[in-house]
């Protein structure tokens, strides 16, 4: 979707401005929260962004593993089970 970080920042700035112009104070509060969280302190901004990236990647991998587990469980069911019975295990 984005080839460079500059594109991401430009798009984010555009939509952030639109949210702030909406007059809803929640958007400003989240922006302030993010700014406070990313201030240099015990960890620099660089490391905080890396932790956020790792956390997002972990969630994505875990969701994929859960999907794969469901498929493997379905494949492991005995052949005599009907497709309706297999579907009920997914739900």
22, two tokens: 């909406």
All structural domains of the chain with their residue ranges? 1-39, 42-91
Q: Match 């991998």 to its residue by tokens.
A: 61
**In angstroms, what CA-CA distances link 48 with 39, 63, 87?**
9, 23, 42
Mean pLDDT across the chain: 75
Check: CB of residue 73 under 8 Å from CB of residue 89: yes
61, two tokens: 């991998």
For residue 80, pLDDT beyond 60:
no
| Res. 7 pLDDT band, cuts 50 70 90 | confident
What span, in angstroms and rounded, lies between the C-alpha atoms of 90 and 73?
9
Q: Which tens digit of pLDDT belongs to each residue from 46-75?
A: 888 888 888 877 777 777 777 777 666 666
Report pTM.
0.37
């Amino acid at each position: 979707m984005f080839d460079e970080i500059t594109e991401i920042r430009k798009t984010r700035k555009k939509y952030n401005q639109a949210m702030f112009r909406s007059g809803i104070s929640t958007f400003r509060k989240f922006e302030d929260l993010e700014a406070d969280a990313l201030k240099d302190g015990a960890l620099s901004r660089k490391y905080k962004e890396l932790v956020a990236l790792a956390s997002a990647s972990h969630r994505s991998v875990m969701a994929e593993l859960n999907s794969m587990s469901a498929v493997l469980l379905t494949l492991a069911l005995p052949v005599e089970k009907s497709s309706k019975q297999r579907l009920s295990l997914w739900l």
